[in-house]
Amino acid sequence: MDFMKEYEKWLASPALSAGEKAELEGIRGDAKEIESRFYGPLEFGTAGLRGTMKVGLHQMNRHVIRHATQAFAQVVLESGAEAAKQGVAVCFDCRNHSQEFAREAACVMAANGIFVRLFESLRPTPELSFAVREYGCAAGINVTASHNPKEYNGYKVYWSDGAQLPPEPAEAVAKKMGEIDIFTGIKSMDYDQAVSEGKIVIMGAETDEAFLANVMAQVNDKAAVDKVADTFKMVYTPFHGTGHKLIPEALKRLGMQHVLCVPEQMVIDGDFPTVVSPNPENPEGFALAVELAKANGADFILGSDPDADRVGIMVNTGNGEFKVLTGNQTGVLLLDYLIGAMKRTGKLPKNPVALKTIVTTEMARKVAESNGLKSFDTFTGFKFLAQKKDELEGSGEGNVIMSYEESYGYMLGSFVRDKDAVTASVALTEMAAWYAGQGMTLYDALLALYEKYGWYGERTMNLVMPGLDGLKKMADLMNGLREKPPVEIAGVAVKEQKDYKDGSVVTVADGAKGKMELSGSNVLRYEMADGTSVIVRPSGTEPKVKVYILTQGKDAAERDANIAKYAAWAESLQG
């Protein structure tokens, strides 16, 4: 694509406002900046779109939103005659421009004859998934960039099952975007007119109540909370985002009497002024929460990311200091707790199943199988976990009690098909309260699980490859590993080389070839002679290759030494 030609096309378009034109005129002499904005469109994938908010083709702005929505509208209409009546649910988060982008999407859908249900104000991502299922919508749209920095926004698309778009319709949307002109090919209409004509209907408290009723139905042992309600204290932060309303309300309905919310972070603000990054994976984001917990004698801290699909926790390590638990650790604790709580209360279903992704700790499989559950892996992403859940439950093969991935996402119940920080917050708090009733913190509980199931450990390495040549570097790295598969990593022999692209398995010792159940994803996995798994996967949403180290040792020291050894190898891949 001729980026200068595209730049001039945008400048000449009557669709641009005076402010947008001024922004583009301001970079006229900066060829590098113009190229970065116009060298090509943002790639539309199964996760939708994500990018920084600027005027330009390779950015997030109202024109790109309209363009994607026009293409999506056509795919929805082609899915069947009823789709226009079933409609599309539209949601948005706390980010700058999110409400504006959501309204733009709603107006394009309405102009294409598709009924729209639009949330009145910001809502958690899982509530969008719920709304699609609850109201029988044909699809859903959510304007959010999850836990990314403040400069970003995104556009997530959902199908009628409430899960993010599967590959086939996502490819259809991308193809149509290539065929539709970003300015002249768009149908839109006035927002107020669409609302007054009933083409856009606003959702509010009634949807919240229906969603919360399903959330509270996931409680297994309310008596455990009641037992410690007078004394158990916790701290909650929404990181300026969409969890600010429903999570404290759900915890109140659980019976929690002492939920201390971080006041500075209860303020809705797309600039996230109190944190460098609004990501519950980062300990520094919890600084204010830790301060509040120490001042009030709380042992448990919970934080949801800006769109309230991910949740992270910090726990008192026993000496007054707080430690962030990884998504893997939190998931293992929760899975083990749910199995026990469901057994105690008679709520464990027949043929119980736990689902995880291929990059999530093997400790989850050990917990599941040690307690009589089956465990299955899927590719990374909740659309795949949702798909597997539907497949198992539809065939009668199993009932899924929990699905999770290492990046702080947990899915419980059957009313959503995406990661859900609202329901997970309730379950994690119930768990923390139950352990408090046993005289234990969650840190005590985690150490007990290591003693019981083994000293598992994980680390994710992010090999960041930004810039125009980043995609090439990522592709070169994956191609290099395929052309010359390693037979040794960090001085340890590779036992098996697995390629999830074609599902192939090669046994290094004798060259024997086999097949895996999963295929169709650009992921490489190496099973090591010491029991470690090393997985290499390019990110689908960010310019980086992720290397996952899943290991185990006879004790904490051996586990940590293994992680350090393989991490050094991963760093060498950066070049």
Within 8 A by CB and 6+ apart from 78, the residues are: 172
User: For this structure, is 146 an active site residue?
Assistant: yes
Q: Where are the domains of the chain?
A: 41-203, 215-452, 455-572
Residue 372: what pLDDT?
A: 98
Quote the percentage of the chain above a pLDDT of 70: 99
Binning pLDDT at 50, 70 and 90, where does residue 62 land?
A: very high
Residue type for 118, please?
A: L
Task: Report CA torsion sign: 412, 417, 418, 422.
Answer: negative
**Residues in a beta bridge with 173:** none
Euclidean distance between CA atoms 457 and 450, whole angstroms: 10
Binning pLDDT at 50, 70 and 90, where does residue 470 land?
A: confident
Residue 319: what pLDDT?
A: 83
Instruction: Catalogue the E-assigned strands of 308-428.
Output: 311-316, 322-324, 352-357, 374-378, 399-405, 409-411
Could you read off the pLDDT of 214-228 as tens digits, one per residue? 999 999 999 999 999
* Domain range 215-452, CATH architecture: 3-Layer(aba) Sandwich (3.40)
Fold classification of 41-203 (topology level) = Alpha-D-Glucose-1,6-Bisphosphate; Chain A, domain 3 (3.40.120)
Residue 196: what pLDDT?
A: 98
Count the Cβ atoms, other than its own, within 10 Å of residue 120.
11
> Percent helix, strand and coil across the chain, each rounded to 5?
40, 20, 35
Residue 322: what pLDDT?
A: 95
Could you read off the pLDDT of 330-369 as tens digits, one per residue? 999 999 999 999 999 999 999 999 999 999 999 999 999 9
Residue 540: what pLDDT?
A: 72
- 46 pLDDT higher than 90: no
| Mean pLDDT, range 316-336, rounded to an integer | 94
Return the CATH superfamily for domain 455-572. Answer: Alpha-D-phosphohexomutase, C-terminal domain (3.30.310.50)
Taking the CA atoms of residue 138, residue 142, residue 143 and residue 145 in that order, the dihedral angle to the nearest 10 degrees is -140
Euclidean distance between CA atoms 360 and 331, whole angstroms: 9
Euclidean distance between CA atoms 453 and 444, whole angstroms: 14
- 300 pLDDT higher than 90: yes
Same fold, 41-203 and 215-452: yes
Euclidean distance between CA atoms 573 and 575, whole angstroms: 5
User: Would you give the DSSP letter of residue 164?
Assistant: B
Residue 471: what pLDDT?
A: 82
- pTM beyond 0.85, yes or no: yes
- 468 pLDDT higher than 80: no
- The owner of tokens 């005659």 is 81
Euclidean distance between CA atoms 62 and 99, whole angstroms: 11
Euclidean distance between CA atoms 87 and 326, whole angstroms: 38
- 167 pLDDT higher than 90: no
Within 8 A by CB and 6+ apart from 110, the residues are: 116, 189, 194, 199, 200
Specify whether the CB–CB gap between 251 and 429 falls below 8 A: yes
Euclidean distance between CA atoms 77 and 489, whole angstroms: 50
Task: Report CA torsion sign: 49, 54, 55, 56.
Answer: negative
| Mean pLDDT, range 518-530, rounded to an integer | 95
Binning pLDDT at 50, 70 and 90, where does residue 117 land?
A: very high
Residue type for 511, please?
A: G
Within 8 A by CB and 6+ apart from 416, the residues are: 126, 129, 130, 133, 162, 423
Integer CA distances (angstroms), 331 to 199, 335, 356, 362, in order: 42, 6, 10, 11
Which of 146, 304, 407, 533 is an active site residue? 146
Task: Please name which of 519, 555, 276, 279 lies closest in space to residue 421, comparing C-alpha atoms.
Answer: 279
Q: Look at phi and psi of residue 503 and say left if phi exceeds 0, alpha if psi is from -120 to 50, else beta.
A: left
Euclidean distance between CA atoms 294 and 288, whole angstroms: 10
Could you read off the pLDDT of 9-19 as tens digits, one per residue? 999 999 999 99
What's the chain's average pLDDT? 96
